[in-house]
Amino acid sequence: MKEQLKQLIGKESKDVSPSPFGRWLNGILVEIGDNGVTASFQARPEFANPSGIVLGVLAGIMDELIGITGYA
């Protein structure tokens, strides 16, 4: 599975993620290593609550990355 995930490096998740939420987040997988995964996310206005805080989305990003790490 790790080799399959490596093929996704550099691709936007909106094009490759099986997760609707992952597609909405639209992160980019940067690296898959022995100690975990690295991804990049562009903060967008819709990530913030009315107070301008992105806490809920950060929890979702962590959940997506934990899921990927489980496969890597």
Express each pLDDT in 10-61 by its tens digit.
999 999 998 999 999 999 999 998 888 999 999 999 999 999 999 889 999 9
- Residue 70: pLDDT band with limits 50, 70, 90: confident
- Can you give the pLDDT at residue 9? 95
Residue 50 belongs to domain spanning: 2-71
- Which residues is 32 bridged to in the sheet? 37
**Total structural domains within the chain:** 1
